[in-house]
Structures are given as structure tokens and as C-alpha cells.
Amino acid sequence: MDFITNPGFPYLSVILLTPLVGALALIFVPREEVWTIKAIAAVSTLVSLILSVLIFLAYDQTIGGMQFKEDILWIKDLGVSYSLGVDGISLPLLLLTNLIGFSAVYASWNNKDRVKEFFILLLILITGVMGTFVTRDLFIFLLFYEVVVIPIYIMVIIWGSTKRVTKEYAGMKLTIYLLIGSAFLLAGMIALYVNAYQLTGVRTMDIESLMLVPFTEHFQIIGFLLLGIGFCTLISMWPFHSWSPDGYAGAPTAVSMIHAGVLKKIGGYGLIRIGLFVLPAGAKFWAPLIAVLAVGNVVYAAVICLVQKDLKYVVGYSSVSHMGYVLIGIAALNVISINGAIAQMFAHGVMAALFFAMIGNLYEKSHTRNIPDFGGLANQVPRLAVGFMLAGLASLGLPGLASFPAEFTIFVGAFGVYQVFTIIAISGIIFTAVYILRMLGNVLFGPRQQQWDKLTDLKGPEWVPLIVLGTVLVTFGIFPYLLMDPINTGVTSLFARTGLSTVIGGGF
């Protein structure tokens, strides 16, 4: 791995900008050249994926901290610089983005409508999401976040599907929610910036520098509230969650995958990196509230899943429910729970993306997502059924798949802090099992139905999402230390620097 640790080469910029370059290249491809368009999209995401896997492996855990740093001063007067870097927290999420981005290209392989525009927007979307994870600068973070919102709106409006709600409604809801969230974020970040300037006299947007600023507790509480509303909207905390099921239901497959898989995680990521580590006292103040609402997330959304009829709504609400675990992990404010929260974000990302890819594939062929319409599909499409099963089992936290170590870690971390909340939240595993198995059973199992004999099974490029995401789920499930160790280096070193207590508070 020596060649990759070469400090001069801007790996992160290459990873970040390759999809963008792909998008630019696509502009010059004639729209009839559908195959070329897809190939360019696939290749550019593949390059990013390979590089990010290499970086994931080459990241030096013994040193920890930010690595593969790049710095270019951008706006001197504001203290904004194009500074990139990854640590144990962002590394898995970067990998996740590229895994899902690559799979999303293949999940959209059969798209026939305005292919060129679709892939251009998709690549921009992937770049935007990735940017939020690799940047070390608050301003750039927000910039990339805003970059994300617009393609999503356009993609939902044009390529979305209308079921319970129209795609226009879904797109509008999604976008407005995200923009309201980002408005709070903007306010919070400006407050941070201005306050830091007043305290230190240095104009900086650098997150690590902001971590060292001694904000007053009063300011931290207000600042965390602003940032918290922004990020919690993004991670779909109750009661700011209702964009999520409707949005996913309306969005095209690739957008659902990226949105549920990674975009949502920006909320958790920001909450941890900016909310928690820059404003620890604020986090401590608001954590109990977050914990309560997180419990609401877990149980409430899981219970709602029980009565859903649309596949995408089930997965949509289920992702709300799973984000509750992430939130409770964050709220518990200790190394273990936050390790678990990040791992859960990763695991849930892979699982949700796989789910949406499979649902998208099924919907493309059957033109319905209504669960009662299906039944016995394992007879006709066994490979698709494998994908559904894998995603479903990961969703209910089966050991051997990536989500179990994550959930277990969250539970351990949170249990020492909020016994009652955690006990209630863990009951979510029962409801999850009920709705997932009910869904899988009703869709995949049961007597063969003649009307679905025409369905074709996964073949060719359609395999890719299942293989890529399934492999990841199993690999990180059997060898969780591959995921846990980098995360732990990131979280532990940050905890050490902010002086938050790392032990779990024993209530006994």
C-alpha cells in the first residue's frame, strides 16, 4: 500500500471530482448513445469506488486523525479554504457513498427516459454527497449540501413515480424540508463563525479549528439547537420525518438509494462532527430530548411499517425507525454509542440501498409496489428474492450481517445512559422482525401466481447492486472489526481532543 500513501497525490480530490468529470463528459455525448452514457457513468463511479476502497485500506489507523489532507485557500477574507481530509468517521461514509453511487448507476441501467440528463444529475448528486463527507471546511460542507438538493428535486419531478402522493408533491416536500433544514444549518453555522471570530479574532471555517474555540455554554445551547434542527431534519428525526417515506416513494430508484443510503447520513455525520464535537456542552444539554424523540422514531415508525401496503413506504418508514437507533447512539454521548451510531449509518446505508435497488427492479418489471398484489415471487425470481431476503435480514439486525455489530454497540453504549429509553427502543427489534418478515413473506413466498410468470429475474448489469452491496453486508457482518476499528480511531481521538468523558456513565 505504499504507493497510495504517497502524500503528494490528491486522492480525495480525484475521488470527489471524477463523477463530476464524468458528468461534464456526458454533456458532450449525443443523447442517442445510450450505451456510452451508461458506460461513462459506470466507469467514473467505479474509479471513485476503487480509489475509496484503496483509501479505506490504506488509512493508517495507528496514527488516526485526518489523513489524505489537501488544502487550497479559497476565500481569504472569510477564512474559507477547499480543505479535504478523511478520518475514521468520514472514511466509512465515503466508502458507503461510492458503493451506493456505483450500485445506483447499475440500478438505473434500464432507465429509458432522458438517459443523458438522468446520469448527469446522478453524477452531480454523488459528487455533492461525497463532498460533504470529505471536506474539513464548514462552508464547503454547506456548499456541497446545497449542491445535493437541486438534482434530487429535478430527478424526483421528472423520473419519479406517483402512487399515494404525486411525484410533484413528493419532490416538493423533500426539497422544501431539506431546504428548511439547510436554512437552520446556515444560521447555525454563521452563528458559529461569527462567535468564533469574536472569541478568537481569527476568521476560520475550519471545523477542527472551531473545535478548539471556547464557546460559552449559553451560546453552545443555542447554536446546537439551530444545527440540531437542521441535521435532525436531515436524518428524519420525529417529528421532522414525514418527508422521508413520501420522498422515497416518489423518487426514482437511484435517488431513493442515494437518499436513504447516504444523504440521510449527512444528518448524523454533521450532528456528530459539528454538533457534538464543536459544541459539546450544547450536545449535552439537548441530548435527553434527542433520546426521547429517537425512541419515538424507533417505535413509532416501526409500528407504522406494520400497516403499510407499499414496498417503498415500508422501507421508508423502516429507515426512519433505524435512524432512531443512530440518534439514540448519538444522544448517549459516549465512545461506544457513537461508534455504534456511525457503524449503523454505514450498515443501514448499504441495506437500505440494496432494498431500494431490489424494489426498483421489481417495480420496473411489474409496475406495482403494492404488497397485496404480489405473492410467491420466489418461485419466479429467486435471485431477486435473495436480494430482498438479504436486505430484509440486515434490516432486522441479523448477526452475520453488518447491522448487528452496529446495533449491538449502540445498545451497549446507550444502555448505560438511558436505561428506560433504550429498553423501549430495543423493543423495536421485535416490530422490525414482524414487518420485515410480513413483507418478505407476502411478497416472496406463498403459492405461485400466474400473473407474475412474465417477470424476468436479475441478469447482467442488474446483478451489480446485489453483488456489491450484498458482499459488503456479509463481509462487514462476519468481520466487523474491519469497520469498527477505523471508526473507533476517529471517534476516540476526537473524544480525547474535546475532553468529553469517554466512559459510559453507569446508572447502577
Partner 1 sequence: MIHFAVQNSWLIPLMPAIAFAIIVFFLRRTPQASAFFSISCISVSFLLSLGVVAGVLMDPAAVESSVTWFSMPGLTVEMGTLIDPISGMMVFVVSLIALLVQIYSVGYMENDPGYSIYFAYQSLFAMSMLGLVIANNFVQMFVFWELVGLCSYLLIGFWFYKISAREAAKKAFVTNRVGDYGFLLGILFLQIIFGTLNFTDLAQIIPTYANVGLLTVIALLVFTGPIGKSGQFPLHVWLPDAMEGPTPVSALIHAATMVVAGVYLIARAFFLFAAVPTALQVIAYVGGFTALFAATIAITQNDIKRILAYSTLSQLGYMVMALGVGGLTASMFHLMTHAFFKALLFLGAGSVIHALQGKQDIWEMGGLARKMPITTKTFIIGSLALAGIFPLAGFWSKDEILLAAQSNGFTGLYLIGSLVAFLTAFYMFRLVFVAFYGQAKPNNDPHESPAVMTTPLIILGLLSVVGGLVGMPWLSTNFGSYVYFGEAHHGYSLMIMVTSTVIALMGIYLAYLMYYKKTISASAIANRFKAIYTLLYNKYYIDEIYQWGINHIVDGAGRVAYWIDLHVVDGVVNGLAKGTRQSGTILRYLQTGQTQHYGMVLVAAVVVIILLLGLLDPSLGISAWGGGN
Q: CA–CA separation, 192 vs 3, rounded Å?
A: 39
How open is the CA angle 452-457-462, to the nearest 5 degrees?
A: 135
Question: With respect to partner 1, which residue has the nearer C-beta, 48 or 233?
Answer: 233
* b/e burial code for range 48-85 (CB count within 10 A of at least 16 → b): bbebbeebbebbeeeebbbbbebeeeeeeeebbbbbbb
Q: How far is the CB of 343 from partner 1 (least distance, A)?
A: 9
Q: CA–CA separation, 70 vs 7, rounded Å?
A: 9
Cell 455489530 belongs to residue? 405
Question: With respect to partner 1, which residue has the nearer C-beta, 269 or 300?
Answer: 300
Q: How far is the CB of 459 from partner 1 (least distance, A)?
A: 16
Q: CA–CA separation, 98 vs 234, rounded Å?
A: 20
Q: How far is the CB of 379 from partner 1 (least distance, A)?
A: 6
How open is the CA angle 337-437-108, to the nearest 5 degrees?
A: 80
User: Contact residues for partner 1 (CB under 8 A)?
Assistant: 173, 176, 238-239, 241-242, 300, 303-308, 334-336, 339, 376, 378-379, 393, 396, 398-400, 404-405, 408-409, 411-413, 415-416, 422-423, 426-427, 429-431, 433-434, 437-438, 441, 444-448, 480-481, 483-485, 488, 491-492, 502-504, 506-508
Q: How far is the CB of 211 from partner 1 (least distance, A)?
A: 20
The gap between the terminal CA atoms of the chain, to the nearest Å, is 47
Point out which residues pair with 80 in neighbouring strands: 75
Q: How far is the CB of 4 from partner 1 (least distance, A)?
A: 24
Question: With respect to partner 1, which residue has the nearer C-beta, 50 or 306?
Answer: 306
Q: How far is the CB of 71 from partner 1 (least distance, A)?
A: 30
Concatenate the DSSP letters of all residues of 151-219 into one string: HHHHHHHHH---SSS-HHHHHHHHHHHHHHHHHHHHHHHHHHHHHHHHHHS----BHHHHHTS---HHH
CA-CA-CA-CA torsion for 265, 113, 245, 470, nearest 10 degrees? -50
Q: CA–CA separation, 331 vs 398, rounded Å?
A: 24
Q: How far is the CB of 194 from partner 1 (least distance, A)?
A: 18
